[in-house]
């Protein structure tokens, strides 16, 4: 069973966000497990503006291609070059080394608490 990091908040599209400034964004273990072996990650460019609930990139696995949605609106201030170079990090460490991008947030989209997200996805709160 997938685990959900208790200190994060989540979008219904399976992205997580922390409470730092700028905010760090990644994909949940639930998403990583559903995707299977991740082989490609396309992220928004630093300086780009992202909009909450809108597509801002994609994640490709051996099973499928999934769109990446931004859980917040704002300016992308950094991307994780390590995960672009080694997309398998999404599978091995989705809440750590596989963070995707950082945003100077101007507005949040609808977000779920870790408990709400875990309950909605049949995951363990870990």
CATH of the domain at 92: 2.40.50.100
Tell me if residue 81 falls in helix, strand or coil: helix
Alpha-carbon gap, residue 87 to 77, rounded angstroms: 20
Cα–Cα dist 114/26, whole Å: 14
Each of the 126 residues of the chain gets a pLDDT tens digit; together they read: 789 999 999 999 999 999 999 999 999 999 999 999 999 999 999 999 999 999 999 999 999 999 999 999 999 999 999 999 999 999 999 999 999 999 999 999 999 999 999 999 999 998
Confirm whether 30 is domain-assigned: yes
Instruction: Report the C-alpha dihedral over residues 65, 2, 26, 32, rounded to 10 degrees.
Output: -20
- Does residue 93 belong to any structural domain of this protein? yes
pLDDT of residue 126: 81
What is the span of the domain harbouring residue 70?
3-118
For the chain, what is the domain count?
Answer: 1
Q: Is the pTM of this model over 0.85?
A: yes
Report yes or no on 45 lying in a domain. yes
Query: What is the signed CA dihedral for 31, 35, 38, 43, rounded to 10 degrees?
Result: -50
| Inside any domain, residue 44 | yes
């Amino acid at each position: 069973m997938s685990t959900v990091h208790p200190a994060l908040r989540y979008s219904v599209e399976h992205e997580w966000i922390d409470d730092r400034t700028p905010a760090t964004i990644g994909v949940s273990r639930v998403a990583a497990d559903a995707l299977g072996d991740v082989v490609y990650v396309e992220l928004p460019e630093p300086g780009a503006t992202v909009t909450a609930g809108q597509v801002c990139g994609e994640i490709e696995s051996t099973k499928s291609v999934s769109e990446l949605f931004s859980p917040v609106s704002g300016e992308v201030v950094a991307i994780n070059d390590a995960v672009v170079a080694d997309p398998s990090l999404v599978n091995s460490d989705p809440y750590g080394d596989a963070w995707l991008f950082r945003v100077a947030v101007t507005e949040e989209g609808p977000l779920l608490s870790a408990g709400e997200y875990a309950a909605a996805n049949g995951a363990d709160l870990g």
